Chains A and B, each alone.
Chain A
């Protein structure tokens, strides 16, 4: 008896130790981490990132922020915060030590001040700072000392409708020095200037969503006169809200509309074409699948900012639900974090997102602080596995995916990853099992084909023998029936000779 007791206590002690190692990270979060399954239903998941702490202006030592609007981390690891309400740009390092603030700028001998800056960008090739001085209707290009080199003001060009306002809200610069500016009143795409400040045109407009109304209008336009057409309302696309550029020069845009589903997230090549289209953008879902199971709202997401992580991850910020959606470079959902609220990790008015290494920084313009998310152990494993998988190293990704399943048995992609690894190792039967769990029918079909071929190759002779025996048996049976050697009992009282 005591031996049994000892054994029991040993086992339970071991269980406690094991469970202490496999820390359930989600218990520390202020929200329920979730993910989506094959059917788009929300399922509980582990947290890939955990909200570590928040930083406000007081803690940095520059006085409180007032409705800050944008956040940018430069290539030399400095953080730029566009503090809209205080009309300044605050610069800190990544440990949030205050470096300086920019309020006054010199331009041809005069002193310029900012008025409601909502966007900041640092060109990694030249080190120039670009600031959207929104309420002054201009974008400033200056060096780190605040000497303005050039201003990008409203283009006086017939392409730009002069009745539109010019309130630049976000800015970025490509390798060639072309400047792209998101202007709220423009829906034809970003306003584009070359490095000399010449207006080049518009870049990367969204498309109009194909609704029944649009089709009906297209029909009426066919039969209406020129005059009628000029009076009818135009179908216009919705301009994108924010963007980011990766090292290869692709520009990613997000659109915060909750009414349309077309072109909410785009990856634009330098010509302005959305190359996610060729990757099957129609099947991709960004933001919350309505209705989100874990949300008290059933509103559509409002994607307000996008950031590219070090491995090409897309971090997308949802203003409506205060959530961050992280996708890998193939646009597979990795993690969902955040929510609406006052606690750490929840947001009131999420404004901007940036990432660096294994941290994600989110700026809240109503809480006036920056929340720092750090990748958890689970997040590290998933990221490693996803990176290996995306590089085509399926077999190397086998072990990390198996580790992922130890943390979260709901993680569908892990099953697909393991299945693919096994498939590449010609272990078709096991691959079939994993593809079945992950409900990926096309992959299952391929694995099944391999399994069947293998089975046929092994059992070729047996099959032939079985078929021959069956054929012989059938022939013998038919002959016996014909000669009435086999008579079933219910046929016995039939008249003979019929």
Chain B
């Protein structure tokens, strides 16, 4: 049964939201390489959604391009999700390792990334009145990903549904706390750098005089 390659397992997991992740766990067929590719695709999708959408739809101020928000929305957000989930699951006796959480979460993201990429392509062929078709595709992708995410987290920790949902909520809280601390850390480092730099400036003036 289920003698699939790692690549074929991706399809199996996505098409079987309820037992796919259990099979994945049982067969230990998760691939870190594929998971990383998915996260990179998420990054590309975020950029494509804002910059390559059909001209008639988007209305953002596009004179400037700053890549940092996109890095944040893909890599950093995903990374904090994984770390926060792992940190929280230890409190709930979850079985998942960080690697497995990473793989399951990334696999769960595939419908979302695919739907939004398809929507971006569609936006070049449809006019504004037909936006509802794009919207339908995007909403289906989003819901699918949500179901997969619940199922994936449930399978990786071997939790009940209620416990999984509670864990996910707590993960969100932990993510906010982590990001807050991250910002705090960055500002403090900035202060330190400014302090060092001002000492350097001061000294260089003294030496010159």
Contact = CB atoms under 8 A, between A and B. Distances in A.
B55 A498 contact: no
B56 A444 contact: yes
Interface string A61-84: 000000000000000000000000
Interface stretch (A12-20, A190-198, A349-357, A445-453): A445-453
Contacts of B56: 441-442, 444-445, 448
Contacts of B63: 39, 41
A495 B4 CA distance: 11
In the complex, which range does the number of interface residues on chain A fall in? 10 to 19
Given A39-B61, A39-B63, A494 B55 contact: no
B127 A448 contact: yes
A291 to B, nearest CB: 16
A359 interface: no
A497 B125 CA distance: 44
B7 to A, nearest CB: 8
Contacts of B59: 441
A19 B166 CA distance: 73
B5 A490 contact: yes
B127 to A, nearest CB: 5
B57 interface: yes
A366 interface: no
A184 interface: no
A375 interface: no
A449 B57 CA distance: 13
B206 interface: no
A498 B5 CA distance: 12
Interface string A441-469: 11011001100100000000000000000
A43 to B, nearest CB: 11
Nearest to B61: A39
Interface in B91-150: 125, 127-128
Nearest to A453: B127
Interface string B41-82: 000000000000001110101010000000000000000000
B3 A495 contact: yes
Contacts of A490: 5
A448 B130 CA distance: 13
A329 interface: no
Interface in A363-403: none
Interface in B1-38: 3, 5
Contacts of B125: 452
A436 interface: yes
Contacts of B61: 39
Contacts of B127: 445, 448-449, 452
B124 to A, nearest CB: 9
A436 B3 contact: no
B3 A498 contact: yes
B206 to A, nearest CB: 37
B25 to A, nearest CB: 21
A320 to B, nearest CB: 27
Contact of B57 (A441, A491, A498): A441
A244 to B, nearest CB: 36
B5 A441 contact: no
Contacts of A495: 3
Contacts of A442: 56, 128
A498 B59 CA distance: 52
Nearest to A498: B3
B57 A494 contact: no
B197 to A, nearest CB: 30
Contacts of A452: 125, 127
Nearest to B125: A452
Interface in A481-498: 490-491, 494-495, 498
B16 to A, nearest CB: 18
B95 to A, nearest CB: 29
Contact of A444 (B3, B5, B55): B55
Contacts of A41: 63
Contacts of A494: 3
B22 to A, nearest CB: 20
B55 A441 contact: yes
A444 B56 CA distance: 6
A495 B3 CA distance: 9
Given A39-B61, A39-B63, A436-B55, A445 B128 contact: yes
Interface string A269-303: 00000000000000000000000000000000000
A26 to B, nearest CB: 23
Contacts of A491: 5
Contacts of B5: 490-491
Contacts of B55: 436, 441, 444, 448
Nearest to B1: A498
Interface in A415-451: 436, 441-442, 444-445, 448-449
Nearest to A445: B56
Contacts of A445: 56, 127-128
The 9 closest A-B pairs by CB, nearest first: A445-B56, A449-B127, A445-B128, A498-B3, A441-B56, A444-B56, A445-B127, A444-B55, A39-B61
Interface of B: 3, 5, 55-57, 59, 61, 63, 125, 127-128
Given A41-B63, A444-B56, A498-B3, 6 more contacts: A441-B56, A445-B56, A445-B127, A449-B127, A452-B125, A494-B3
9 contacts: A441-B55, A441-B57, A442-B56, A444-B56, A448-B56, A449-B127, A452-B127, A490-B5, A498-B3
